[in-house]
Structure 1
C-alpha cells in the first residue's frame, strides 16, 4: 500500500515536471548554413516495392542542391520489384544508385549489414539514414545540418506515421508522445536515443566506432550505434521541429505493431539509465494502478486514472501542436485505451522466449 501510493506520487510529480518543461520549452536557435556540403543518403530496402518510389520522390523534393546529394539504396535480397523500380528511377535521377546486397559482412545481419556496405560506398563525410517506407520533408537535410557542430556525432529528427483511420492515428500519437518525452530530456543537454529512419551520423563518428561491422549486433542497430558513438565522446542532438518530421508507413495490423514494439523494447536496454527509468516508470503505471481499487474506494481509483489521462493528454496535445498539427480530444481519450492494452500485452510478450520477425527474418 505504501509502495503503491509512493509510486503514484513519484509518477505524477515526474510527469508534471516533464509537462512544465515541455510547455515552457525554448529550443536553441540553430544558425543558417554557410555552405552546402555533399551528403550521402543511405537507404536499406527489402521487399519495399509499395513504398520505395514514394520515398525517392520525397527525397527528390528536397530543397538541397542535387549536385551535393547522393542517394544509395541497398537492395537486401528483395524478392519483389524493389530493385527494378530503383534501377528504373535512377535512369532519370543520376544522384540515385541501387546496390545489390548479396552477402553479409562478418558481425552484421539485416539492416546493419546493408548500411555497413553502403557506408563503404558513400563518398561524402555525412551519412543521412532513413528507411524505404519513409517520406522526408523538403528541408530535412538542411535542417538537420543546422544542428551539427564540430563535436556532434549524431543528429536525430522526429518521425510519425501516416494517420488515416483510427488505428493509424493512434500509432501517430504514440510516436509523437514518446518522442516528446525524449525531447524534454534531450533539451537538458542529456543524450537520449536515436531513430534509424531519421538520423544523421558523421563519417568521423561512424568510423571512430569501426562501423556496424565492428560494434555488437543488435536488431535495433540505430540504438547500438548511438551507444557506441557516445562512448567515443561525441555529442548528439535531437531535433523536434516540423522541418525534420518524417512520415512512416504505420504498422498494418495489431500483430505487426506488437512485433515492432517488441523489437523496440529489446533495444531499450541500450538506452541511458535515466531514459530507461523514465520509460519503466511510465510503463509501470497500469500494473500499479489496476489493483489500487482493492485498497481504496472506486472514486479515488477513478480519480487517479482521470488525473493520468488529463496529464498525458495535455502533454500529447502539446507534442502535436508543436509540429503545427491539430488533434481531436476524443482521439486522446481513445489513446489511453490503446496504451493500456498495448502496455499490458507488451510486458507479457517481452519475457516470452519467442524470436522477433522483422523484414521476413527471425532474430
Structure 2
C-alpha cells in the first residue's frame, strides 16, 4: 500500500507541477522589428499531394518577400513533386527548386537533402519545415525574435498539430501533448530535442558542428542535430503559441501512423534520461493501476478519472495557448486513443521489420 501511495503521489505531483508551469510559462519574446534575410528550407520526396499546401502557406507569410530565400530540395522523387513545385514557383523569385544529385559526406536520405539545402542557403538564419506543413503568417518573425533574445541561442523549435477528421485531430492532440511537455521541460533548462518540421537554426550554430554531412547517419536527424548543437554550448528555445504553430497533414491510416511512430521510437532511445524516465513513468501508470488485485474497483476508477481530468486540462490549456479549440468529447477520446496507440506502437516496434521513412527502407540498426 505504501508503494501505491508513493507512486500515485509522485504521478499526480508531477502532473500538478507541469500544469503549474504551463499556467505561468513564459511567452515568446516580442517582435523586435528587425527583418534580416532568412532561408526557408524544405526537403521534399514524393510530396505531390501535399507540397502545394505548404508552398501556399509560405506565400502568405507576413514577411517581406525580398528578404525570403525559400529553397525546396527534390529528394529523388518518383512522382510529380518537382513538376508541381516548378509550376507553383514560376514568377516567384524568392523560391528556388534544387535537385539532389549526389551524397554529401556521411549524409543519406532526408539528411542529405537537408545538407544540400544548407549548402545552398545564403543567409544567417535557416528555418526548416516539411513539405506537408502549413505555417502561421507570423512564423518567421516570431521564431527570429526567440533566436534574437539571446545571442547564444542556436536553435528554436515551434509547435505542431494536425488537422482533418477525427483520426487526424487525435494525432494533432498527440503532437501538442508531447511537444508541450518537452517545452515545459525546456523552460526548466532541460535540453530534450528539436523537431525538424518547425525549427530555426542559426548559421553559426549549424556550421559549428560541421553540418549534416559531418554527422553520422541517423533517421532522427533533428534530434541528432539538436544534441550536437547543444553539445557545442549553444542555447535553445522551445515555443508554444499561435504564431509558431505549424499544421501537418495527418497520417492517413493506422499503418502509416505505426510506421511513423516506429521511426520515432528509434529516436526515443537517444532522448535524454529525464524525458525517457518521465514518459516511462507515465506509461507505468497503466501497469500499476490495472495490475490484478492491487486496487479496489472504486479506488481504481477514482484514480483513473483523476488522471483523465489532469490530462484533459493539460490539453485544453495547450490548445488555448496555440489559439485552437476542440470539443470535450474529442479531448476525452484522446485517452483510449493514447492507450491503444501505445500498445500498438510497442508491438509494431518489437515485431521484426524495416523502418520506412520517406518511402525508403532502413534496418533498425541503422542510424
By the TM > 0.5 criterion, same fold?
Answer: yes
- 5+ residue gaps, structure 2, are 363-367
| 1:158 equivalenced with 2:166 (yes/no) | no
Q: Which residue of 1 aligns with 2:365?
A: none
> Structure 2 matches for 1:57-72, cutoff 5 A?
57-72=56-71
Distance in structure 2 (CA, Å) of the matches to 1:28 and 1:77? 40
C-alpha distance in 2 between matches for 1:71 and 1:142: 15
The two structures have a TM-score, normalised by structure 2, of 0.94
User: Equivalent residue for 2:258?
Assistant: 258
CA-to-partner distance for each residue in 1:274-317, whole Å, 9 max, x for gaps? 122222212222233221x4222111122121111111111111
Shift of residue 99, structure 1, vs aligned partner:
0.9
- Separation in structure 1 between the aligned mates of residue 325 and residue 43 of structure 2, nearest angstrom: 32
Change (3 A) 1:31 1:330: closer
Query: Would the aligned equivalents of 2:289 and 2:295 in 1 still touch at CA under 8 Å?
Result: no
Quote the residue 1:195 is aligned against.
195
Tell me what 1:329 maps to. Answer: 328
CA distance in 1, matches of 2:94, 2:3: 59
The answer as to whether partners of 1:191 and 1:237 remain within 8 angstroms in 2 is: no
- DSSP-derived class of the 1:270 partner: coil
Matched, 1:141 2:147: no
Could you say which residue in structure 1 is the equivalent of 2:102?
A: 103
CA separation in 1, counterparts of 2:27 and 2:308?
30
Distance 2:299 2:38 in 1: 56
Structure 1 CA distance for aligned equivalents of residues 28 and 348 of structure 2: 42
Aligned residues: 360
Distance 1:296 1:190 in 2: 35
Residues 135-158 of structure 1: CA deviation (Å, up to 9, x unaligned) = 111000011000113101101101
Q: Which residue of 2 aligns with 1:6?
A: 6
| Residue in 2 that maps onto 1:172 | 172
Deviation at 1:29, TM superposition (A): 5.5
Q: Distance in 2 between the 1:152 and 1:138 partners? A: 23
TM-score (norm 1): 0.95
- Give the superposed CA RMSD: 1.5
Corresponding position of 1:317: 316
- 1:362 and 2:361 correspond: yes
Structural mapping, 1:1-363, within 5 Å: 3-25=3-25, 27-28=26-27, 30-148=29-147, 149-162=150-163, 164-291=164-291, 293-363=292-362
Q: Partners of 1:242 and 1:125 in 2: how far apart?
A: 25
1:212, 1:275 → 2: CA distance?
25
Gap runs ≥5 in structure 1: none
After superposition, the Cα gap between the structure-2 partners of 1:29 and 1:115, relative to the gap in structure 1 and judged at 3 Å, is: closer
| 1:21-66 C-alpha deviation (Å, 9 max, x unpaired) | 21233x1561433421111111100011111111111101111111
